Structure 1
Amino acid sequence: MDKPVIYVLSDSLGETAELVVKAAASQFNSGNAVINRVPYVTDKETVNEAIHDAVKDNAMVAFTFVLPELREYTIKLCQLKKLPYVDILGPVMEQLIRITNKEPKFEPGIMRKLDTEYFKRIEAIEFAVKYDDGKDPRGLLRADVVLVGVSRTSKTPLSMYLAHKQIKAANVPLVPEVKPPKELFQVDPKKIVGLIISPHQLNEIRKERLLALGLRDHASYASMERILMELEYAEEIMTKLNCPILDVTNKAVEETASRILKIIKEG
């Protein structure tokens, strides 16, 4: 048979089984197998129909079922009809049960679900990078949450942490000399979180930042006078925005992020 016919059955999309079959078929000069994929098989009736067609085509059957009853039924039916078959997932799952001494979830399509979550997380991370530090105010209206506050209130670390939770976070620094973007005032106040901090802690953080950059720690950026002015200005803007305000003084990023997630959920 120059072009073997293979029926691929799955309780999900069937991509895994099809890739395995194609990889195997490519090792033969008579490759170019005809693959008939039958996705979302959830009952015995669908198995019967697929096996019936496979018999007419003198085909081989490959399947990836996580539900034991469907696997066992398909095996018995293939044996009854004298069809060659390959249980791609079953043996691997049985060995994992043996070595882990745990029962699987038996949830079809779980790998695709995990893949979807992974890509959502990557998308959120890319969003956080693109709209960090007010670089592009157009992203504010697309964000799940917008963080505002003076410099060194953990806006960027919080944005990245939230991105790993699949939350698209943008952040805007509040600086007295720079007028906030008009887009910020178009965002739903429930989607904005203001970050404030003790002036004394901010003073210490900024001094350490300057030293890390090889600069003198008594520069204007770290002076108490400057810090008090910035914090007063930031609170004025937050009042105009009518947004929730969180005090990040002595708070870990995880703790503040948890409170932000709660605000998003309740909003």
Structure 2
Amino acid sequence: MKNIHLHLVSDATGDTLEQVAKAALAQFPEINAQKHYWPMIRTARHMERLIPEFDERPGIIMFTLVNQDIEDVLIAACEKHSWPYISVLHGIIRELGHHLGQKSIARPGLQHQLNDEYFKRIDAMQYTLMHDDGQCLDGLKDADIILVGISRTSKTPTCIYLANKGMKTANVPIIPNQPLPRELDNIGDKFVVGLINSVDRLVHVRRSRLLSLKENKTTTYVDEQAIKEEVQQAQRLISGRGWPVINITRKSIEETAGAIMKLKYKYDDDKEKAARDQ
């Protein structure tokens, strides 16, 4: 295992930089990076004051700086001290400007402005939390996406992820040997997706869940045959409504959400096309 210092320098919150660094480092499992965060660098003078900090713990410097004066100070110091550096945004902004025929305004933190998109995400999150696990079923008509599935099919975390993308997302549990809630009969043309999981995976996840709750009793909740029947019932209910289904086995939350959004885009496109053809 190789240890390195990684300095993350940003003129805003540094969230973008942190996500890029995390994704990149995942490709180098033998590297142990000690991260040092330097957000909200607003002036060249502020940048100059940080140079001694880098000198105390030399390593790789990654940065997202849109102000040219601040970037110039950092790059000059890196070249003087022979510190390796990586500009995460410079190449992207330069190429975008080239293809768009425009010059960037070089203003940091614009993605964090309190604009309409921000408030849309807040509204979506509030809606999603209120409509989790079959709560407030009368509000399903206001959803952008409705997820249905049996227990332990990652409905809630997937809903939270989608809400953070601005999607009002409700989820409704499929309960063994019970019909779907009648409110699902009155949602018009709302977009609904069914989530299923493999029997083996469900057995494992549910047993782990009971262990975490210190429950040792044997119940149908973790019985393999009962779970198999539960999955089959869920598949019949979902296919009977003509809803698309996603098998989440071995899928991350991000992958499941991505698959849902791909289906939603197609659903919306088909609906718009049908409306034009009328």
TM-score, normalised to structure 1, is 0.59
Matched, 1:98 2:64: no
Does the 8 A contact of 2:67 with 2:106 survive in 1?
A: no
Deviation by residue 1:208-258 (Cα, 9 ceiling, x = unmatched): 000011101633211112211211111111022110010101110100100
Measure, in 2, the Cα distance between the counterparts of 1:112 and 1:248.
Answer: 32
Matches within 5 A, 1:81-230: 96-100=67-71, 104-105=104-105, 114-188=114-188, 191-216=191-216, 218-230=218-230
Q: Is the partner of 2:236 in helix, strand or coil? A: helix
Measure, in 2, the Cα distance between the counterparts of 1:240 and 1:141.
Answer: 20
- Structure 2: which amino acid aligns with 1:151? S
1:183 shift after superposition: 2.0
Q: Is the partner of 2:115 in helix, strand or coil? A: helix
Measure, in 1, the Cα distance between the counterparts of 2:219 and 2:262.
Answer: 37
Percent identity between the two aligned chains: 37
Q: 1:106 to 1:220 in 2, by over 3 A?
A: same
1:150 shift after superposition: 0.4
- Structure 2: which amino acid aligns with 1:200? D
Measure, in 2, the Cα distance between the counterparts of 1:123 and 1:234.
Answer: 30
Q: 1:177 to 1:200 in 2, by over 3 A?
A: same
Q: 1:96 to 1:139 in 2, by over 3 A?
A: same
Measure, in 1, the Cα distance between the counterparts of 2:105 and 2:217.
Answer: 56
Q: 1:194 to 1:111 in 2, by over 3 A?
A: closer
- Structure 2: which amino acid aligns with 1:239? S
Q: Which moved more, 1:241-250 or 1:209-218?
A: 209-218
Q: Is the partner of 2:121 in helix, strand or coil? A: helix
The root-mean-square deviation of aligned C-alpha atoms, in Å, is 2.3
Q: Is the partner of 1:219 in helix, strand or coil? A: coil
TM-score, normalised to structure 2, is 0.57
- Structure 2: which amino acid aligns with 1:256? T
Q: Is the partner of 2:194 in helix, strand or coil? A: strand
Measure, in 2, the Cα distance between the counterparts of 1:208 and 1:106.
Answer: 50
1:174 shift after superposition: 0.2
Measure, in 1, the Cα distance between the counterparts of 2:217 and 2:206.
Answer: 8
Partner residue in 1 for 2:93: none
Measure, in 1, the Cα distance between the counterparts of 2:188 and 2:241.
Answer: 9
- Structure 2: which amino acid aligns with 1:194? G
Measure, in 1, the Cα distance between the counterparts of 2:153 and 2:217.
Answer: 18
Partner residue in 1 for 2:266: 266
Matched, 1:232 2:203: no
Q: 1:120 to 1:239 in 2, by over 3 A?
A: same
- Structure 1: which amino acid aligns with 2:128? A
- Structure 2: which amino acid aligns with 1:169? T
Give the unaligned 5+ runs of structure 1. 1-94
